[in-house]
């Protein structure tokens, strides 16, 4: 498949009640392994990509380095590849579009695009985030590329107390509706795990809803029943592999 065909295939995988599962990768080697295991598409997680390169999360990976990582992952597999692009390394909508164009040029077919102020505090205003999404959409349309913009809200990620997540749902729905109007293709709500709240968002937001797996999250079958269309694993694959590697090394060196 060419890039456009991969993008179309990726869009088709997002079905409410039959979610695409993305076991997140961070380099070409992990991309090959996950593809060989039966994945239908691949996606990176920014935390894992950063940690694998010795960087902290939060756009600390230099943009040229991230671009080459994306290019190497795309080259390693025939599957559609989505890149976690955090806040696109810019705030101004025009600069955002220019940076996302660099990801399009790698052959990737989509991005995660978050609304938090990277390196600052809080979230971008809804109106500004909408203009940022719209700029990405316009850039992709000029290229005749059905590029998947998975618009992420960090409302729940920035509130560690899950008991307070119910009070954030209406604000999340407002953002989801605004992002859909601006041209987003998916709505990502990382760290939300309460099934009732997830169901409310799936009902209220017309976009395919993406949930991140974590220990207290419902299982995939339950999420499907709630209307989720995409399940991501975030940093969990990387953390599991590093834990295994550390234990293997400790056994070799006799420090276990």
Please write the tens of the pLDDT for every residue from 27-51.
Answer: 999 999 999 999 999 999 999 999 9
Work out how many domains the chain is built from and give that number.
1
Please tell me the predicted confidence (pLDDT) of residue 62.
98
**Tokens linked to 33:** 């392994």
Q: Is 244 exposed, middle or buried (0-12, 13-18, 19+ CB in 10 A)?
A: exposed
Domain assignment of residue 82, given as a range = 3-253
pTM beyond cutoff 0.95: yes
| Residue 109: per-residue pLDDT | 98
- As a whole-number percent, the residues of the chain with pLDDT over 70 amount to 100
Interval 92-111 mean pLDDT: 98
Condensed to tens digits (0 to 9), the pLDDT of residues 202-241 reads 999 999 999 999 999 999 999 999 999 999 999 999 999 9
Percentage above 90 pLDDT, the chain: 99
**CATH number of the domain bearing residue 12:** 3.20.20.60
């Amino acid at each position: 498949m060419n890039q456009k065909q991969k993008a179309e295939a990726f869009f088709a995988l997002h079905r409410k009640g039959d979610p695409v599962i993305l076991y997140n990768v961070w380099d070409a080697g992990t991309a090959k392994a996950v593809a060989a295991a039966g994945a239908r598409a691949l996606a990176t997680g920014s935390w894992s990509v950063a940690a694998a390169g010795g960087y902290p999360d939060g756009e600390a990976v230099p943009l040229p380095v991230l671009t080459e990582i994306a290019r190497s992952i795309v080259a390693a597999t025939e599957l559609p590849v989505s890149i976690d692009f955090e806040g696109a390394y810019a705030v101004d909508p025009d600069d955002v579009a220019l940076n996302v164009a660099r990801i399009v040029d790698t052959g990737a077919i989509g991005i995660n695009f978050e609304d938090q102020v990277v390196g600052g505090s809080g979230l971008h205003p809804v109106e500004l985030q909408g203009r940022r999404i719209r700029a990405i959409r316009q850039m992709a349309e000029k290229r005749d590329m059905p590029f998947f913009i998975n618009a992420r809200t960090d409302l729940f990620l920035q509130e560690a107390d899950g008991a307070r997540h119910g009070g954030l749902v209406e604000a999340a729905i407002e953002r989801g509706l605004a992002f859909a109007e601006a041209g987003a293709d998916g709505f990502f709500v990382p760290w939300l795990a309460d099934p009732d709240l997830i169901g409310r968002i799936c009902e209220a937001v017309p976009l395919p809803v993406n949930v991140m797996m974590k220990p207290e999250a419902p299982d995939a079958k339950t999420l499907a029943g709630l209307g989720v269309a995409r399940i991501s694993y975030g940093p969990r694959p990387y953390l599991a592999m590093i834990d295994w590697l550390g234990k293997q090394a400790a056994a070799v060196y006799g420090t276990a």
